[in-house]
Amino acid sequence: MSEQSAEPSSAPGSPLRGAPDSGPSTAPPGQAAGDFVLTLVCPDRPGIVHAASGFLIEHGGNIIESQQFGDQITNRFFMRIDFEIGASGGAPPTADDLRDAFAPVAAEYEMSYELWAARSPYRTLIMASKHLHCLNDLLFRWSTGSLQIEIPAVVSNHREAERLCDAYGLAFHHIPVTADNKDQAERELLDLVRRHGVDLVVLARYMQVLSDDLCRTLAGKVINIHHSFLPSFKGARPYHQAYDRGVKLVGATAHYVTADLDEGPIIEQDTLRVDHTYNQDQLVAAGRDVEAQVLSRAVRWHAESRVLLNGHRTVVFR
């Protein structure tokens, strides 16, 4: 998390957030039910909850959901509040109004914070290569309203995803990547991110390593998915390597991308028990199912401001 004392945080999830003060009158299942979401991180000390709730009372707020965590090791406090604002006879406050009004409270408690309209979608650019199971799953969930995202573009270094994107009416961008053009390809990607006001980039089995510079530029805004066999089975065909070793569990990890390959802060993990009856293809199929489920949960929690960075770890308010 990019922590700025008493300023709205730029942490995972970008400051744009689509149309901040618009959205459906009712939230889809699993999404926020109130008008706004406030998240905050600060040094732990008495009075934080009282200060936050007092601010909401002062502005006619009613708490729909509140979650908090105090890390006794780092002495950091984390909180997420989903709240609504009751009718007051005048024009209802906007997220910008409330964000500015909360600044003095944040300054007193050295908070980094975000405050957004609860249903503001994250503008999400998805990247994939040849394996499309994660992309397909995300597009289906987006199309049914179960993910609080907008998808301005899908990017791939291959063309396999183009027909799938066409079926969903989404813009597809083919950006080939070779050893000779990697810098140019990343410049094209960054141009898309900036041109479309992208808040989040999802690597849905995108099989290219992002450069250190790109990781730093998009810090806290890129989620990756990989199988859980690392570091045991690296390289090509990891499920086949795992089959040869007779593994009993397959799984997946979703994490934020950093310059340390596959070592960024973990958002979600899951496993599935397998046995000797699984052949290589069945093992691959089982792994794909887990990967898709883990990635979709990570994207959903991020888009609902449920993930806060705690150093190299995460606090996830499910």
Instruction: Kindly list the structural domains of the chain, giving each domain's residue range(s) and its CATH number in brackets, ordered by start.
Output: 7-117 (3.30.70.260), 122-316 (3.40.50.170)
Query: Confidence class of residue 228 from pLDDT cuts 50, 70 and 90?
Result: confident
Instruction: Identify the pLDDT of residue 33.
Output: 62
Calculate the average pLDDT of the chain. Answer: 89
8 A C-beta contact, residue 5 and residue 107: yes
Q: How far is CA 172 from CA 134, 136, 137, 159, in A?
A: 16, 14, 17, 9
Strands of the chain, DSSP E: 7-8, 36-43, 61-71, 76-85, 112-117, 122-128, 149-156, 172-174, 200-203, 222-227, 249-256, 266-273, 307-310, 313-316
Distance from C-alpha of 116 to C-alpha of 102, rounded to nearest angstrom: 12
Distance from C-alpha of 285 to C-alpha of 270, rounded to nearest angstrom: 15
Is the model's pLDDT at 180 over the cut of 80?
yes
Distance from C-alpha of 49 to C-alpha of 199, rounded to nearest angstrom: 29
User: Is 262 one of the annotated active-site residues of the chain?
Assistant: yes
What is the mean pLDDT of the segment spanning 126-141?
A: 98
Instruction: Identify the pLDDT of residue 243.
Output: 87
Nearest CA-CA partner of 223 in 147, 114, 117, 120? 147
* Strand duo 222-227 + 249-256: pairing: antiparallel
Q: What is the pLDDT of residues 267-302, one digit of tens each?
A: 999 999 999 999 999 999 999 999 999 999 999 999
Is the model's pLDDT at 236 over the cut of 90?
no
- Residue that has been written with the tokens 């609860």 in this structure: 118
Q: Could you say which of 97, 262, 270, 289 is catalytic?
A: 262
Give yes or no for a cis peptide into 231 (omega within 30° of 0). yes
Query: Confidence class of residue 262 from pLDDT cuts 50, 70 and 90?
Result: confident
What is the mean pLDDT of the segment spanning 226-253?
A: 80
